[in-house]
Structure 1
Amino acid sequence: MLTPQIIDTVVRAALTEDAPWGDITSQLLIPAEARATANLVAREPGVFSGGGVFAATMTAADATTETALHIADGEAFEKGAVLASVTGPARSVLQAERVALNLVQRMSGIATLTAQYVALAAGTKARIVDTRKTTPGLRAFERHAVASGGGHNHRYSLSDAVMAKDNHLAVLTAHGGLSVTDALRAVRAQLSHTTHLEVEVDRIDQIEPVLAAGVDTIMLDNFSLDELREGVALIAGRAIVEASGNVNLNTVAAIAATGVDVISVGALTHSVRSLDLGLDVDVTAAR
């Protein structure tokens, strides 16, 4: 998902946004021939993600810049760890610094938070997955970060799968002229065998009519723990069971223990705190 082409497009747009007419501070203060070595240093512990993005940002600023990654995406690190080192023209390193940090800090924050959710669901069959509540333009970056933290990705876009949610069903009921079961069967008949069909329900009594249509996944939205257990028992393996709503670090372990297959967590990307990482110039190397 996070291809070199996607990385390059986002990184170059971000660099242009940050220095549309050049970095006048570095141009005025830093000699053109000066070179710099800088280290990406962790100010707090976490899980790393975005090494390739960090390196690509530095290279986009100047093709002669070299980055050495000292840790792989998905690896945990402690405070003070040197995660990467970069060497190149000083002006370019300084110009790329903020963009590179912004991206790798956010991605590592997502990976770190995801790892916490995954750890709390350990010992159950529940997968922790993300949602489409991502930053516009950065979905591939944020989805990659979720995977770095041990989570899984939901559908990438509206084009990937049919996912009928409450608003779809409300419009269908008002204007479709068909029962939910018949309408979903009609959808199923038009889909290729490779296209997934998921339906959201918010009441127990909606489950059987949806199951009768032959759906692949049923999302139990904002169900209580008792209702989740009842839903899992009722579905009885006839579809994948996804839990959604009211999922946080305090509730995820109990939700996972109900027997659901998937837990979708919007907070992985929409409420995450960027990790505190810094880029420190190696003064010794610069002498």
Structure 2
Amino acid sequence: MNPYTLPDAELERLLGEDLPAGDATTHALAIGDCHGRLEFHARFEMVVCGSEEARRLGELRGLAAVGAAVASGTALAAGDRILTLEGKAAALHAVWKTAQTLMEYLSGIATATAGIVAAARAGNPDCSVVCTRKNFPGTKAAAIKAILAGGASPHRLSLSETLLVFAEHRAFLSETPAQTLARLRRRWPERPVVVEVADENEALAWADADILQLEKWPALTVDRLQRQIPGTRLAAAGGISAANAADYARAGAAILVTSAPYFAVPRDVAVTLSALPAA
């Protein structure tokens, strides 16, 4: 699965961060015109992400891909090949670390996401995992690609697209829940209304919302609420991980909301750079 590829302008920005005034070492050694090969492999099991960007980084510097890059979203075993690039040594060195690091971070997110998705579906095959907008600022497009590659969906791409009513919004209201819900549905008729609630009393007061978001509720409490209001979709949020996703899914949460993948440990990508005979 390859959800999309970051645009060239973003990839050029990444290359420019690592190469603002040329590669001093390659230039000083006068090896830039030598021919070589850059190979990327999974060092451990992973769900790879960013391989298309790595290939494109090479193409932007005149490198040629040897064979196809493994698509983002593919589960790899240790040692599996991801991508091979060939061309001038100057370009290989210019692309090497940016491509490697980008794949490592995105593959870490994708792998962690896939683990939570697998756990949730073990509890309930129809349970969905969605990831919040709590990615590191400035990395949203890349982070969203990684969670898509891992089998999740975005919870909120931005404040502009969803109606999610927090207690911090309700602090400014002086109307009943029914009045608030009716007003929101008149103003934004095509948007489901999601309300975050802190306890069962709040949940019952807002039970006519399309989705209730339960922040840091124990799974047992989720199960009890689901039995009381079976017609309202429940989204469990806060502290969701691969260790507890199945419990929440079995308890009746239709949606699991998590930020955990964004803090995942990167998955190591092994790199081999070798010289080739001149063409």
TM-score in terms of structure 2 length: 0.91
Indicate the SS of the match to 1:260.
Answer: coil
Q: Supply the AA of the counterpart residue of 2:175.
A: L
2:255 to 244, 252, 262: 262
Structure-2 change in CA distance of 1:28 and 1:187 (3 Å): same
> 1:148-199: CA deviations, max 9, x gaps?
1122222211111111123222x22xxx322333223212211132x23211
User: What does residue 119 of structure 1 align with?
Assistant: 118
Aligned residue pairs, count: 275
- Please give the alpha-carbon distance, in whole angstroms, between the structure 2 residues aligned to 1:120 and 1:286: 51
User: What does residue 219 of structure 1 align with?
Assistant: 213
User: What does residue 78 of structure 1 align with?
Assistant: 77
Deviation at 1:200, TM superposition (A): 0.6
Indicate the SS of the match to 2:205.
Answer: helix
Deviates more, 1:256-265 or 1:24-33: 24-33
User: What does residue 96 of structure 1 align with?
Assistant: 95
- Please give the alpha-carbon distance, in whole angstroms, between the structure 2 residues aligned to 1:2 and 1:168: 34
Q: Check the 8 A contact 1:38/1:279 in 2, yes or no.
A: yes
User: Structure 2 matches for 1:26-41, cutoff 5 A?
Assistant: 26-41=26-41
> 1:111-151: CA deviations, max 9, x gaps?
11111112212240211111111122221211111121122
Indicate the SS of the match to 1:230.
Answer: helix
Structure-2 change in CA distance of 1:106 and 1:286 (3 Å): farther
User: What does residue 203 of structure 1 align with?
Assistant: 199
- Please give the alpha-carbon distance, in whole angstroms, between the structure 2 residues aligned to 1:116 and 1:268: 9
User: What does residue 233 of structure 2 align with?
Assistant: 240
Deviation at 1:85, TM superposition (A): 0.3
2:176 to 176, 179, 199: 179
TM-score in terms of structure 1 length: 0.88
- Please give the alpha-carbon distance, in whole angstroms, between the structure 2 residues aligned to 1:216 and 1:145: 28
Q: Supply the AA of the counterpart residue of 2:154.
A: N
- Please give the alpha-carbon distance, in whole angstroms, between the structure 1 residues aligned to 2:195 and 2:87: 52
Structure-2 change in CA distance of 1:286 and 1:221 (3 Å): farther
- Please give the alpha-carbon distance, in whole angstroms, between the structure 2 residues aligned to 1:9 and 1:209: 48
User: What does residue 252 of structure 1 align with?
Assistant: 245
Structure-2 change in CA distance of 1:160 and 1:48 (3 Å): same
- Please give the alpha-carbon distance, in whole angstroms, between the structure 2 residues aligned to 1:21 and 1:181: 61
Q: Supply the AA of the counterpart residue of 1:65.
A: L
Q: Check the 8 A contact 2:106/2:143 in 1, yes or no.
A: yes
User: What does residue 190 of structure 1 align with?
Assistant: 187
Deviation at 1:106, TM superposition (A): 0.9
- Please give the alpha-carbon distance, in whole angstroms, between the structure 2 residues aligned to 1:39 and 1:98: 12
Indicate the SS of the match to 2:7.
Answer: helix
Structure 1: segments with no counterpart, 5+ residues: none
Structure 2: segments with no counterpart, 5+ residues: none
Q: Check the 8 A contact 2:51/2:69 in 1, yes or no.
A: no
Runs of 4+ in 1 over 4 A off after TM superposition: 1-4, 283-287
Q: Supply the AA of the counterpart residue of 1:116.
A: G
Indicate the SS of the match to 1:20.
Answer: coil
Q: Check the 8 A contact 1:30/1:91 in 2, yes or no.
A: no
Indicate the SS of the match to 2:26.
Answer: helix
Indicate the SS of the match to 1:200.
Answer: strand
- Tell me the C-alpha RMSD between the 2 structures: 2.1
Q: Supply the AA of the counterpart residue of 2:80.
A: A
Q: Check the 8 A contact 1:26/1:95 in 2, yes or no.
A: no
- Please give the alpha-carbon distance, in whole angstroms, between the structure 2 residues aligned to 1:182 and 1:70: 54
- Please give the alpha-carbon distance, in whole angstroms, between the structure 1 residues aligned to 2:277 and 2:268: 24
Q: Supply the AA of the counterpart residue of 2:211.
A: T
- Please give the alpha-carbon distance, in whole angstroms, between the structure 1 residues aligned to 2:213 and 2:164: 9
Indicate the SS of the match to 1:211.
Answer: coil
Q: Check the 8 A contact 2:36/2:276 in 1, yes or no.
A: no
- Please give the alpha-carbon distance, in whole angstroms, between the structure 2 residues aligned to 1:14 and 1:196: 37
